[in-house]
Structure 1
Amino acid sequence: MQVFQQIDEARNWVRQQRAAGHRTALVPTMGALHQGHLSLVELGRQRCEKTIATIFVNPTQFGPGEDFEQYPRLPEEDLQLLRQVGTDAVFLPDAAAMYPTGFSTAVSPPDVAGDLEGRLRPGHFSGVATVVLKLFQILPATHAVFGRKDYQQLLVIAAMVRDLNVDIEIIDAPIVREADGLALSSRNRYLSQDERQSAKRLSAALQACCDAFADGNRDADDLQSIMHAVLTESGKSHPPVDSIDYAVVRGADDLRVLNTVTADAVALIAAKVGSTRLIDNRVIGNTH
């Protein structure tokens, strides 16, 4: 596995793979890797002959008071994990390379970024779109792999690629969960043992929503109330979450507000457990 820190070296490697006729999958990450990230690399390897992962904690997508300084950074462990799953190359830039002195350009994100995470985290999706477009320019791969766990982010990137005619195919990868249903996240390592029990409420609430839909409930307000109830009900073995940013059912393709839920819908939750903010989602119906 080759490791690049310089932009020109990483770009030349990708260009060489393209010139040799290799489909090349780009897997952007912020490090602190877990099996969810590794599944993205594995999916990239299934679809393409070569894979290149990136590790970069992007400062422009963190707002004031968020956990940029505390975000886990484990580069040596990350590189070892990427070697184990057969990653061909890794791009590991520093902030000065990605945002040199005088940098002042930003991408205005598409409409799908406007609500939910975009409303609660002003500037977040501009930071995401900017760094992802930079990575697409630096590493001109044929494919890029993003996980469905960051569902709104996936829609934002897909819309940006479409709107700006970026020559890359987006591969969306399913969420990887623990045996107890908890979605894998780099932020799970912040959770105490008791907080981890509370965190299970997110997947349980999503399951309750999907079960109600399967039983014939099509009312969006009812389905959202079901999720809120699961997240907040008292219980010793699974304490409630500490706060809810949102627990909503939206259109799966554009996050439009729904009154009546069809198969083209997704349930999304953002909640805090202790000081840790977690997100999760489930597609409802038969769309995926």
Structure 2
Amino acid sequence: MRVISTVRELAAEWDTGRLAGSVIGYVPTMGALHEGHLSLVDLAREQCDLVICSIFVNPLQFGPDEDFESYSRPVERDLKLLEARGTSVAFLPDWVEIFPRRERTLQDFGSHVSVPRLSHQLCGRTRAGHFDGMVTESLLFLNLVRPDRTYWGEKDFQQLRIIETLVQDLRLPVRVVRGVTRREEDGLAMSSRNMNLSPDARAVAPRLHQVLLESRSRLLDGDALSAVLAAARDTLTERGFEIEYLVAGEEESLTEVRTLDSRVPTRLFAAARLDGVRLIDNLRVTEVAP
């Protein structure tokens, strides 16, 4: 595995790959890697000849009260994990390499992109500017890496849909490939932030996924959506979760729904804090009827 840190080195890797006729796959990360990230690397290796993985903690997507400075950055550990999974190139630029004028906010950066119809619901309700910062940095990295395929996990489903829409709307020459949510043995969705849970909170955290499973089962049995969601919220609150949202929404538009329609793919979406740690999860409920 080649470890690089500059845009010039990245361009040289791209040129070499293109001359060899390689299909280039790209896995973007902010580091603190877990099996969810690594499963995307595995998927990219199956489908591509050259796999580039970036590690970059993007300042543009962190709000003023969020954990940018304290975000875990175990670089040496991450590099060992990437090498063990057969990554071709690890791209680890520093902040000034990507933002040479030392921009830390969208306002500092000046130019930015937005996917507004998907950015203001769910997580966007309480994280103002987060998705604009995410998608602006993602477009910048896609322009730098110039991959044939880029790999994103379904755990951050709103983020995934925003990237898919960006690529579709701007006709970017890249295919977005979905990776399924990877979970711990007890069902907790893998996340870099899970390591911040206290032992007691970690024991309770899987209840979020369990409640989504129970809710889906009730909905498929015909129970009313409003009653199911209310019961789910009550259960989580009783277990110490501070619920940000727990709703059902259309997969494509992320629009919240009040009733289920078998003609429209729908998911349950949840975000909640436990012991001060923000957890998110989602679960498909309905498929499109044949």
More divergent stretch after superposition (127-136 vs 44-53): 44-53
In the alignment, residue 93 of structure 2 is paired with which amino acid?
Answer: P
Aligned partner of 2:82 in structure 1 is 82
Aligned partner of 2:115 in structure 1 is 109
Computed over aligned residues only, the root mean square deviation of the Cα atoms, in angstroms, reads 1.3
More divergent stretch after superposition (220-229 vs 243-252): 220-229
Question: What is the rounded CA distance, in whole Å, between the counterparts of 1:27 and 1:266 in structure 2?
Answer: 25
**Structure 1 length-normalised TM:** 0.94
In the alignment, residue 281 of structure 1 is paired with which amino acid?
Answer: N
Question: What is the rounded CA distance, in whole Å, between the counterparts of 1:30 and 1:227 in structure 2?
Answer: 31
Per-residue CA shift, 1:151-209, capped at 9, x if unaligned? 00001111111111111000010000011101110000001110012211210111111
Structure 1's consecutive aligned runs of 4 or more residues displaced over 4 angstroms after TM superposition are: none
Report if the CA contact (8 A) 1:201-1:230 is conserved: no
Aligned partner of 1:272 in structure 2 is 273
Matches within 5 A, 1:136-175: 136-175=142-181
1:104: Cα distance to partner? 2.2
**Helix, strand or coil at the partner of 1:65:** coil
Question: What is the rounded CA distance, in whole Å, between the counterparts of 1:262 and 1:205 in structure 2?
Answer: 21
**Structure 2 length-normalised TM:** 0.93
- Sequence identity of aligned pairs in percent? 39
Aligned partner of 1:24 in structure 2 is 24
Question: What is the rounded CA distance, in whole Å, between the counterparts of 2:100 and 2:184 in structure 1?
Answer: 39
* Equivalent residue pairs, number: 280
In the alignment, residue 244 of structure 1 is paired with which amino acid?
Answer: I
Aligned partner of 1:258 in structure 2 is 257
Per-residue CA shift, 1:253-288, capped at 9, x if unaligned? 11112121134101111100111111111111235x
Question: What is the rounded CA distance, in whole Å, between the counterparts of 1:135 and 1:34 in structure 2?
Answer: 21
In the alignment, residue 260 of structure 2 is paired with which amino acid?
Answer: V
More divergent stretch after superposition (39-48 vs 253-262): 253-262
Structure 1: where are the runs of 5+ without partners?
Answer: 234-239
Aligned partner of 1:199 in structure 2 is 205
**2:223 aligned with 1:224:** no
Matches within 5 A, 1:24-43: 24-43=24-43
Per-residue CA shift, 1:216-264, capped at 9, x if unaligned? 23x432332232133123xxxxxx1331100111001111121211341
Report if the CA contact (8 A) 2:181-2:189 is conserved: yes
Question: What is the rounded CA distance, in whole Å, between the counterparts of 1:18 and 1:211 in structure 2?
Answer: 48
Report if the CA contact (8 A) 1:4-1:93 is conserved: yes
Question: What is the rounded CA distance, in whole Å, between the counterparts of 1:12 and 1:226 in structure 2?
Answer: 56
In the alignment, residue 276 of structure 1 is paired with which amino acid?
Answer: V
1:59: Cα distance to partner? 0.5
Report if the CA contact (8 A) 1:110-1:160 is conserved: no
Structure 2: where are the runs of 5+ without partners?
Answer: 104-108
